[in-house]
A and B are shown apart, each in its own frame.
Chain A
Amino acid sequence: MSTAESSSKQAAAGTGAGRQRAGGRHPGAWRRRPRRWLRAGMASLMALTLVVASAGTASADREYSWTLGNQSAQFLTSPMPYLYDFEIDGMYKESGTFKNPADIFIDNQYNVWIADTGNNRVLKFDENGKFLQEIGTEEGPGQLNAPEGVFIADKGDIWIADRGNGRIVRYTPEGEYVRDFGKPRSKLLEEDQVYQPNKLVIDRRGYIYVLNGGGDFRGIFLLDSEGEFRGFFGANRLKFDLARLLIRTFTTEAQKKQISKILPTHHANVFVDERGFIYTVSPLGQNKQIKKLNSIGNDVYTTTDKFFGVRERRGNQWVMPQFVDITVDSQGIVSALDFNSGLIYQYDQSANLLAIFGGRGAQRGRFELPQSLAVGRNGRIYVLDANRNNVQIFRPTEFAQLIHEGSQLYYDGRYEQAATVWREVLRRDSNFELGHTGLAKAAFKRGNYIAAMQEYAIARNKDGYSLAFGEWRHEFFRENFGWLMPLVIFFIWVLVTVITRTVKRVMSMNLEVEGGPA
């Protein structure tokens, strides 16, 4: 006899006995036993939930982040894209603590370079925070004065924007001083030009892109490898404004002097990616704050006037994002640091928002004065804080890795492979709009236009929806033309008849009667 049979027999016997007893003693007895089971089950369930809940709170400081919908100002919760991992500071190390550090750079060996501005030096750590090297403290031509930018060229040469001395300095990979480039001379530059280089990058051709500190709106200083000035690069422009034109037309010279000059915004930071695109961020712009400049200085990142970040209403005024640094990983995923909110915004290759994390605050994983960020091995993000004098390292969660993988496949045009990743993403975050767009593209390619329309509708992608709708309409008409056309003609005939009859009837009704309307 198997166990199943025996247990069922026992159960049958038990219920039989129960029923007998219930009939014999009191009518409520049959309800008692299940209640006891229920109570025991509930107690064990509650205990289990408590254990799970406490484990959850212990393992992760925050379980979810938030992101923006396609219509900006729509906040959606999303899984946490990055988690705090560890931090690097100079405490109890040979280097000593930092003082108002301004820039962080990660070279192709994943070493971490920090421009320790307040201590007039540049520090080198390995990716786990082990102190390796110090540059710029020895007396001589290589001594630094408030360096604010550091860049490591492909072969390991160290370039430092030495703001206090008004020059950029080059060192060998071992830290020996090689040469410096002081204030560039050109007809385009005035003699009393203030020159305070604070950021620099070098592209593959050897051109040096230097930012002049103090809000120079004329663009990036483009120097060749000999330090000769080659012109301004990628300046922000003012948009045409009718009101400003009117004011300028009708004001006198004296009045013009009293009106504050309206100037284009400057660049706060600059980054060069592997393919030689120059990324810039503007802290004050109303739109297009993030730019991806090609070799002739045109923005190829966005075609529309896209606004990056979130406008926030605080009291009576709008707080705008103030981007101070940008970094791009090998997949082309852009992370931009907003100084005002302390948030890090991550965008994909065509400026779709992928994730938001960070923020202002005193706890771990938040920032007090975030200055700079860089991306290291395995997509880890290093964020430099000038007030805490440390670097916090964030590791991507599984969710962020999935997003990056999906967007990579998506922009390579491999929609089918991307779709499997997007399904995984959507299992974790069903609000993720780019995922729905990805599924829609895959469905579209398969020829399943209705599914594509549904996914586009969820993603609020109207242009995509329109495209899928057009294809569906085309197919529908081609297949159903035979019976559709007569139907449409009949429908139009009915409509015309009904309308003419109604109009005729209304026009012929007799309204002038005894007693009026009542």
Chain B
Amino acid sequence: MSIGSTAPARTIPAVAAPPIPRRRAGARPRQRAGERWRVAARRTAWYTTKWFRQMLNVLAHPEDAFWELKRTGDWLAVPFLLALAILSRMGVMSFMGFHYVFQGVETTKWNFESLMENFTRTFSLGMTQFIYGGNPEDTSLIQEGIRILVPFATWCLAHYAIAMIFYGEGGIKDIAVSAAFSLTPFILFAWPASLILTNITTLTEKSMYFNISWIVRIWIIYLFWTHIRVIHDFTAKRTLGTYVISLLGVTIIWALLALVYALTSNTYEFFYELFYELTTR
């Protein structure tokens, strides 16, 4: 009854939703179908409102917001925000003006633009792309989803390990939830930038779009920095150290995965060929 009511807001900040009572067989009378839908809708509205409020808090005053998130954050926010990030990425790609497709920054040349591109791409783990990653005709929702989900998962893993070593206070839940909320600027500003800017500017003015992309990504890097500092209660020096070492950890995880893949594919080939030899000789 409270959602959308005109009652004045209380001063108490949002808290985690109370646990949903688990239904035992015969414990509660069966609800009517309409009633169940109404409950589901209300529950969705409640969570959405809560997460949206937390997102706005993260944008407005990140330190307090992340501190609050330690108490009020819930696991369910992580898939919600990641889905929104993928949606935003889809928006970026599908709203993009024809002449902007493939007009990225040349990352192999050495100038200010490429420096910013490389820096922001590295420190935001490439999760926030404002340009096409591949051939527009070959790209897919799954591929773009993986571009966000895999760096996110490895970041959480690596950062959790590093934060444990550095005696950080935050647990895996805090790490995942805060990292997901740190993507908020991308979720909120990437697709409008693509929708509006790439469709009213020509390529001579493309720096406008790319400057916005760097601002958003530097904001994200700042949010990462802040949430590491807040959730683990680190000093600035320690935060920087953890951040950089976690990034290294991500690289090491990927390198190890690549190594394991290379080795296992070789072994697979070996056994396959052995089998082939034995069966054909």
Contact = CB atoms under 8 A, between A and B. Distances in A.
A514 to B, nearest CB: 8
A169 B261 CA distance: 60
B98 A513 contact: no
B9 A462 contact: no
Nearest to A73: B135
Contact of B200 (A71, A457, A473, A507): A473
B15 interface: yes
Interface in A474-518: 503, 506-513, 515-518
B50 to A, nearest CB: 6
A506 B52 contact: yes
A515 B43 CA distance: 11
Contacts of B17: 516-517
Nearest to A470: B202
A227 B238 CA distance: 72
Contacts, number: 76
A462 B98 contact: yes
A503 B56 CA distance: 8
B9 A509 contact: yes
B9 A510 contact: yes
A508 B202 CA distance: 41
Given A470-B204, A506-B56, A509-B3, A518 B98 contact: no
A506 B99 contact: no
A507 B98 contact: no
A286 B80 CA distance: 45
B15 A511 contact: yes
A450 to B, nearest CB: 13
A296 B100 CA distance: 37
A71 B138 CA distance: 12
Contacts of B20: 516-518
Contact of A510 (B5, B42, B52, B200): B5
A466 interface: yes
B102 A462 contact: yes
Interface in B1-49: 1-5, 7-10, 12, 14-15, 17-20, 39, 42-43, 46-47, 49
A207 interface: no
B88 to A, nearest CB: 17
Interface in B201-220: 202-204
A465 B56 contact: no
Interface string B87-126: 0000000000111111100000000000000000000000
A516 B4 CA distance: 14
Contacts of B4: 509
B98 A508 contact: no
Query: Which one of B8, B53, B101 has the highest number of Cβ atoms from chain A below 10 Å of its Cβ?
Result: B53
Nearest to B192: A495
Contacts of A469: 97, 99, 202
A510 B98 contact: no
A507 B53 contact: yes
Nearest to A514: B2
Nearest to B136: A71
Contacts of B15: 511-512
A465 B98 CA distance: 8
- Judged by DSSP, the binding face of B is loop
B200 A516 contact: no
Given A510-B2, A516-B17, A517-B42, A463 B53 contact: no
Q: Which of B12, B19, B49 has the most CB of A within 10 A?
A: B49
Contacts of A465: 98-99
A460 to B, nearest CB: 9
A235 B120 CA distance: 39
A108 to B, nearest CB: 44
Contacts of A470: 202, 204
B49 A506 contact: yes
Contact of A516 (B1, B18, B56): B18
Contacts of A463: 99, 203
A320 interface: no
A516 B46 contact: yes
B2 A513 contact: yes
A467 interface: yes
Contacts of A466: 99, 202-204
* Residue among A470, A509, A511 having the largest count of chain B Cβ atoms under 10 Å: A511
A462 B39 CA distance: 50
Interface string B153-190: 00000000000000000000000000000000000000
A469 B200 CA distance: 9
B163 to A, nearest CB: 30
B202 A510 contact: no
B34 to A, nearest CB: 15
A513 B200 CA distance: 46
B111 to A, nearest CB: 15
Given A512-B10, A516-B20, A467 B202 contact: yes
Contacts of A509: 2-4, 9, 49, 53
Given A462-B101, A462-B103, A507 B56 contact: yes
A314 B49 CA distance: 55
Nearest to A457: B98
Contacts of B103: 462
Given A457-B98, A462-B99, A512 B14 contact: yes
Interface in A426-459: 457
B99 A510 contact: no
A462 B198 CA distance: 13
A469 B199 CA distance: 9
Contacts of B3: 509
Contacts of B2: 509-511, 513
Contacts of A510: 2, 5, 7, 9-10
B244 to A, nearest CB: 21
A459 to B, nearest CB: 11
A511 B14 contact: yes
29 contacts: A71-B135, A462-B102, A462-B203, A463-B99, A465-B98, A465-B99, A466-B203, A467-B202, A470-B204, A473-B202, A506-B52, A506-B56, A507-B9, A510-B2, A510-B9, A510-B10, A511-B15, A511-B46, A511-B53, A512-B12, A513-B2, A516-B17, A516-B18, A516-B19, A517-B18, A517-B42, A517-B43, A517-B46, A518-B42
Given A506-B53, A512-B14, A516-B18, 17 more contacts: A457-B98, A462-B102, A463-B99, A463-B203, A465-B98, A473-B202, A506-B52, A507-B53, A507-B56, A508-B8, A510-B2, A510-B9, A511-B49, A512-B10, A515-B18, A517-B20, A517-B47
Interface of A: 71, 457, 462-463, 465-467, 469-470, 473, 503, 506-513, 515-518
Interface of B: 1-5, 7-10, 12, 14-15, 17-20, 39, 42-43, 46-47, 49-50, 52-53, 56, 97-103, 135, 200, 202-204
The 6 closest A-B pairs by CB, nearest first: A517-B46, A516-B18, A513-B2, A466-B99, A470-B202, A466-B203
